């Protein structure tokens, strides 16, 4: 069912990004950063639970939010790949890359949910309305982090630029509509992600100008060739993330 798949898409985006942010634990530069990352991760986890619960209700046959979170393999997750890519805190990434990813993801998600709040599905529109303030706070927090990195000095600004370059090849997927999104958008029950492209670009340009960092190749916003995460095609890091995320639930069976 298209609506169930759409709820999975939105829920998986939140669940997987939450898991990635949770990896920072107490490894940030200070306790305030640790608390902020943990709070954002928890906000996203709450959103994921509601959306996966809705997907499970639509699918039926015992597909509740816990089974959807912990008993699907990577090929059955529908999140965009930007949510899953390893940006640290280990050797695979750093805080600047995490900020860059959070800035792009939260700006995009806030723009989608602002439009989703005006659509016809009562559950999705209500959840979107309740989430807008939180997602806007995530976006603004990431913007302040980015601006701060850009103002600190040459080294920190270069780290932010490198972080953007690292995640940039995955950005185009955010604005490439899946057939399910297009079908439901025509019925006014979903959002065509291409419709938020200009809003996202405008906000990113404002933040990056303040950070004194150039936006990478603008063509990325209009170029993406499936398959991607929406089709179940993920990065190599997804299997490792799910193995850690699902271990306890699967071992308790």
Q: Does the pLDDT value for residue 92 go beyond 80?
A: no
Query: Tokens in use for 144?
Result: 């302040």
> Could you tell me if 75 and 144 are in contact, meaning their C-beta atoms sit under 8 angstroms apart?
no
C-alpha to C-alpha distance for 196 and 211, rounded to whole angstroms = 23
DSSP secondary structure letter of residue 23: T
Q: Looking at residues 173-185, what average pLDDT do you find?
A: 97
C-alpha distances in angstroms, 25 versus 21, 94, 240, 243? 8, 14, 18, 18
Q: Which residue has the tokens 């150039």?
A: 214
* Residue 60 or residue 101, greater confidence: 101
Q: Looking at residues 82-92, what average pLDDT do you find?
A: 83
Q: Looking at residues 104-123, what average pLDDT do you find?
A: 96
Q: Looking at residues 84-99, what average pLDDT do you find?
A: 83
Strands (E), 66-176: none
Q: Does the pLDDT value for residue 252 go beyond 80?
A: no
The boundaries of the domain holding residue 159 are: 2-251
C-alpha to C-alpha distance for 174 and 82, rounded to whole angstroms = 8
Query: What are the tens digits of pLDDT across the range 120-177?
Result: 999 999 999 999 999 999 999 999 999 999 988 889 999 999 999 999 999 999 999 9
Could you tell me the CATH number of the domain that includes residue 216?
1.20.1260.10
Q: Does the pLDDT value for residue 81 go beyond 60?
A: yes
Is residue 218 very low, low, confident or very high in pLDDT (cuts 50, 70, 90)? confident
Q: Looking at residues 244-249, what average pLDDT do you find?
A: 85
> Could you tell me if 160 and 209 are in contact, meaning their C-beta atoms sit under 8 angstroms apart?
no
Task: Name the nearest CA neighbour of 80 among 183, 215, 216, 226.
Answer: 226
- How many separate domains does the chain show? 1
- 216 phi, psi to nearest 5 deg: -60, -175
Is residue 237 very low, low, confident or very high in pLDDT (cuts 50, 70, 90)? very high
Q: Does the pLDDT value for residue 91 go beyond 90?
A: no
What local confidence, expressed as pLDDT, does residue 62 receive?
Answer: 64
Element containing residue 237 per DSSP (H, E): helix 237-251
Q: Looking at residues 189-201, what average pLDDT do you find?
A: 97
DSSP secondary structure letter of residue 176: S
What local confidence, expressed as pLDDT, does residue 1 receive?
Answer: 84
3-state secondary structure of 11: helix
pTM (2 d.p.): 0.94
Q: Does the pLDDT value for residue 199 go beyond 70?
A: yes
């Amino acid at each position: 069912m298209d609506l169930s798949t759409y709820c999975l898409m939105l829920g998986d985006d939140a669940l997987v990004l939450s898991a990635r942010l949770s990896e920072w634990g107490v490894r940030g530069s200070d306790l305030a950063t640790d608390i902020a990352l943990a709070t954002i991760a928890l906000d996203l986890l709450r959103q994921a639970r509601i959306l996966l619960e809705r997907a499970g209700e639509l699918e039926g046959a015992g597909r509740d939010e816990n089974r959807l979170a912990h008993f699907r393999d990577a090929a059955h997750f529908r999140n965009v790949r930007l949510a899953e890519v390893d940006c640290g805190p280990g050797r695979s990434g750093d805080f600047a890359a995490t900020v860059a990813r959070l800035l792009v993801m939260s700006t995009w998600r806030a723009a989608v949910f602002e439009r989703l709040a005006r659509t016809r599905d009562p559950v999705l529109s209500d959840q979107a309305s309740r989430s807008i303030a939180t997602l806007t706070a995530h976006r603004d927090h990431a913007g302040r982090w980015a601006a701060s990195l850009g103002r600190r000095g040459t080294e920190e600004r270069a780290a932010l630029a490198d972080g953007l370059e690292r995640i940039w090849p995955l950005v185009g997927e955010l604005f490439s509509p899946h057939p399910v999104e297009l079908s439901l958008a025509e019925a006014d029950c979903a959002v065509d992600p291409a419709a938020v492209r200009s809003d996202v670009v405008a906000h990113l340009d404002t933040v990056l100008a303040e950070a004194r960092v150039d936006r990478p190749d603008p063509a990325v916003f209009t170029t993406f060739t499936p398959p991607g995460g929406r089709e179940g095609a993920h990065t190599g890091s997804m299997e490792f993330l799910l193995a850690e995320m699902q271990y306890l639930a699967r071992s308790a069976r």
